[in-house]
């Protein structure tokens, strides 16, 4: 069935999913099932979150071909060869994701202090993220993730993908490409926070992650070890499972106008 075709009895189109190949320094590295847009951001975020690059400075060039479903990347390092030899771990991601064994087992450094937020503030930003999820509105079956600058009081990056982990990679890739400081950032996701999602946040230096669903016990263990703030059920009944020191009890007066309740009718992406 071609991507974008309609189901009988359903007025919405089906979300697009494709197998995209990643080639690094002319070598085949991996194939990823994803929504084949924003491939540069996804590739950079994926390389970083796998531990194949340590900074954007190691990326010499990225060339994407959406028609051929290929991403060509030139790196100034060949660290990926060593990390690939250590193998990968299959994750619980929707489209069958993987994370490098090195990245999964590496020591988790304690995160910095990071921003302080209120649960009301988080709820409003989650509502705004879902209200702007155009592909979900069109298809009814896709995940979204957004990066929030607490200092600027706004969403600075937002992406959608059939895989929740891919949407996170796209957000992180955008942060790296724009050389944004993760110090005041918060990560919002429509999907459950599993272990690899928590690892992506920690490795990126993001101190707060919130989901409209839940998190796994291993994700919570990782969060507690690294000092990551985890907020679940963030839309209706937020629960702070770790890192409560970053949660403020009351909004300041200057926050009231920005965080008016969102009255957009919302439907929810799949867990």
**Co-location of 172 and 101 in the same domain:** no
pTM here is 0.83
pLDDT of residue 80: 85
121 assigned to some structural domain: yes
**Co-location of 249 and 124 in the same domain:** yes
57: domain CATH number? 3.10.20.10
Question: Stretch 166-176: mean pLDDT, rounded?
Answer: 97
Q: Which of 81, 105, 129 is the last residue of a domain?
A: 105
* Nearest CA-CA partner of 231 in 169, 187, 168, 165: 187
Confidence of residue 81 (pLDDT cuts 50, 70, 90): confident
What average pLDDT is seen over the chain? 84
Cα distance between residue 242 and residue 239, in whole Å: 9
**Co-location of 137 and 44 in the same domain:** no
**Co-location of 168 and 250 in the same domain:** yes
Reduce the DSSP state of residue 28 to 3 states and report it.
strand
209 assigned to some structural domain: yes
pLDDT of residue 47: 94
Q: How many domains is the chain built from? A: 2
E-strand ranges in the chain read 18-24, 27-34, 59-65, 70-75, 88-90, 98-100, 117-118, 143-149, 154-161, 185-189, 208-211, 229-232, 239-242, 247-248
**Co-location of 188 and 250 in the same domain:** yes
111 assigned to some structural domain: no
The string of pLDDT tens digits covering residues 105-128 is 566 678 999 999 999 999 999 999
232: domain CATH number? 3.40.140.10
Question: Stretch 45-62: mean pLDDT, rounded?
Answer: 94
Q: Which of 54, 71, 105 is the last residue of a domain?
A: 105
24 assigned to some structural domain: yes
**Co-location of 35 and 60 in the same domain:** yes
Residue range(s) defining the domain that contains residue 57 = 18-105
**Co-location of 89 and 25 in the same domain:** yes
Confidence of residue 103 (pLDDT cuts 50, 70, 90): low
The string of pLDDT tens digits covering residues 9-51 is 455 689 999 999 999 999 999 999 999 999 999 999 999 998 8
């Amino acid at each position: 069935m071609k991507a974008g075709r309609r189901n009988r009895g359903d007025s919405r189109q089906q979300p697009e999913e494709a197998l995209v190949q990643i080639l690094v320094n002319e070598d085949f590295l991996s194939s990823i099932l994803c929504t084949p847009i924003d491939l540069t951001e996804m590739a950079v975020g994926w390389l970083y979150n796998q531990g194949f690059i340590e900074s954007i400075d190691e990326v010499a060039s990225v060339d994407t071909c959406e028609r051929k479903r290929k991403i060509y990347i030139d790196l100034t390092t060949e660290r990926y060869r060593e990390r690939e030899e250590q193998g990968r771990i299959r994750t619980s991601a929707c489209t069958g994701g993987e994370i490098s064994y090195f990245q999964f087992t590496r020591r988790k450094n304690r995160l910095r202090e990071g921003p302080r937020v209120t649960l009301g503030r988080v709820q409003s930003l989650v509502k705004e993220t879902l209200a702007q999820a155009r592909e979900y509105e069109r298809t009814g079956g896709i995940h979204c993730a957004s990066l929030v600058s607490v200092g600027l009081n706004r969403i600075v990056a937002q992406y959608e993908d059939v895989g929740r982990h891919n949407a996170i990679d796209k957000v992180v890739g955008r942060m790296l490409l724009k050389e944004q400081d993760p110090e005041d950032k918060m990560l919002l996701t429509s999907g459950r926070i599993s272990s690899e999602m928590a690892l992506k946040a920690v490795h990126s230096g993001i101190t707060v992650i919130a989901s409209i669903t839940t998190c796994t016990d291993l994700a919570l263990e990782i969060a507690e070890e690294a000092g990551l703030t985890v907020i679940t059920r963030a839309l209706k009944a937020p629960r702070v499972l770790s890192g409560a020191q970053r949660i403020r009890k009351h909004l300041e007066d200057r926050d009231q106008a920005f965080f008016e309740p969102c009255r957009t009718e919302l439907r929810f992406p799949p867990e």
